Amino acid sequence: MSPEFFRVFFALVCRILFAEWPHFGLICIDVDGMLAERSNRDRPSDIATRYRYILKSVSLNKTSVAEFQSQAESQAKPLLRTPLSDLIKASGARMVPFAGWEMPVQFIGLSQEHEAVRTGVGLFDISHMGKFFLSGQGILEALSGLVPTDLSELRPGQAQYTVLLNPEGGIIDDLIVYLQGGPGQAIAPERVALIVNAATQDKDKTWLLSHFPEGITLDDRSETHVLVAVQGPQAVVTLQTLVPGADLAGVGRFGHLETEILGREAFLARTGYTGEDGFEVMIPKETGEALWQALVAAGAVPCGLGARDTLRLEAAMSLYGNDIDDQTTPLEAGLGWLVHLDRKGDFVGRSVLEAQQAGGVERRLVAIEMEGRNIARHGYAVVDGAGVAIGEVTSGTWSPTLQKAIALAYVPTELAKVGTAIVVEIRNKPQVGRVVKKPFYRSNG
């Protein structure tokens, strides 16, 4: 029989097994990738269609299977690799395609990695993310016209999470703005760093440059620098051993600084995507492997995309492409705290947000806890009493910390109140959940 047949058959088996063991899908995707490498011809379109359908319901822990599969099916385009890929693969990490990159999905096991971040310190390679450094005059003013958030109160050493909007109020990307120097400094130009998502960095760069006035330069360090996340209750203490020239404990949440690590210039920010304390560290790629090895030697546990997803979902942090995209506005996505209509002037998409704020939104992104072990996965329908789809699950997993099935979903506004019963169609059966307050998990640190 053909390799295509075995791949479809294997995906069907995965679907059945994954219904009982949520993390089994990570292995399925990896084995599927090996099977794909053995096939020297493209799958017929009908098999590919059935294969995508089978995998669509297998929700992985960093992103939807649809996203993993779209990358796996783009075999004509070689996957990008971070400067740490060789070292990470040599350590035995399981690698998967993600946003055009070959990335580690797990090292020793998702549950162990998740636990390491919640109780100790975990280490993530996030070098695939976009890293833009802006310099010139009027940077914050230019950025203010592209985001709904008031940036005027930012001071050097501070950062702000926000979203880039299109004219329809949809989210082009979510990002963090780090003010390094200025405004108001008479001699030095303003300096701003932006960290953007891997899958959107090209369109983000094009969008920014098309809206920036002359005099603002963009230095793209996405390929020249390594970015790692050191996360967990012991993150600061662990990282401090490598940074003798700065007091990391004195850096506030969303604070950042420039210092030296291992004799090289480094950018450190007290930010993350796990719901725990920690730092994200950027350093020239030539020193990346030495940094990774030093952090592991200091006690940090290497972690993959699988744990990164369960951690961020417990913290109810949105994943671009799943929970937010260019068809969702921040008011619909529960990001109204980023919208400062009364504190700033015009910006792209303002009129849409004004109309939504005045008239209300028709749907909202809510947090749901499912009853029992019924996991509502990405793409599953939220249904009414008649079984008609009225919403959609955007992210869902089994929470290792809470030992509950949790999910994010868009539902009609009238169903968004905490305590409201929600019905999700899971394997053609209605299963009950309940809207709960975000986040699912909040760190005590």
Instruction: Report the distance separating Cα 133 and Cα 191, nearest Å.
Output: 7
Phi then psi for residue 214, to 5 deg, are -60, 145
Closest CA to 170 of 7, 333, 279: 333
Domains present along the chain, CATH in parentheses: 130-220 (3.30.70.1400)
C-beta atoms surrounding 298 within 10 Å:
17
Q: What is the pLDDT of residue 41?
A: 28
Segment 221-231, tens digit of pLDDT: 999 999 999 99
pLDDT of residue 27: 39
Helix axes 45-56, 65-72, angle to 10 degrees: 150
Instruction: Give the per-residue pLDDT at 26.
Output: 42
The identity of residue 365, as a single letter, is L
Write the pLDDT tens digit of every residue in 43-99.
223 223 223 333 333 334 434 444 444 444 444 579 999 999 999 999 999 999 999
DSSP 359: H
Report the C-alpha gap between 44 and 8 in whole angstroms: 12
Which residues have a Cβ under 8 Å from the Cβ of 442 and sit 6 or more positions away? 275, 315
In the sheet that 190-196 helps form, which strands lie side by side, from edge to edge? 158-165, 171-181, 190-196, 130-136, 217-220
Considering the entire predicted model, what is its pTM?
A: 0.84
Query: What stretches in the chain show pLDDT beneath 50?
Result: 3, 8, 15-75, 186
pLDDT value, residue 432: 98
